[in-house]
Amino acid sequence: MIKIYTDGACKGNPGKGGWGALIQLGGESIEIFGGELNTTNNRMELIAVIEALDKVRAEPSRVMVFTDSTYVQKGISEWILNWKKNGWRSSNKQPVKNQDLWMRLDELKQGMTIEWNWVKGHAGHPENERADFLANQGVESI
């Protein structure tokens, strides 16, 4: 079982952003992070998950993802089905924001069994706090 803890950060929204992920694979922990200029917090939250899944896609396919973003957790486990059915339009008939990232995430999850978990951010959850630290490292790396 692979466990992935992700977070995004943004200084200004839009603004300078970062993403981070802690990947627990067997007895090994892998930390990844990065950042972008002129981005949004939601994009950083999505990119954190995308980068982590991309890193482990060649590994066994059972994954638990932990995110403090309800946007990511509900988006991938609930909303995406209707977005795809409605031609990537939201319930108010507008184009889905961050469609490029949602499509990439949808593609990456193919062939994997993923459990999507929401955790409360900034609540002392050690792995989530580490992901937050890594996301802020991503901001600083810009």
Catalytic positions, written as ranges: 7-8, 45, 68, 122, 132
Q: Left (φ > 0), alpha (ψ -120 to 50) or beta: where does 87 sit? A: left
Determine which helix (DSSP H) or strand (DSSP E) holds 53, and give its type and residue range: helix 41-56
- Cα distance between residue 118 and residue 105, in whole Å: 17
Sheet holding 2-12, edge to edge: 28-39, 15-25, 2-12, 62-67, 113-118
- State the CB neighbour count (10 A cutoff) for residue 24: 15
Structure tokens at 31: 């930390």
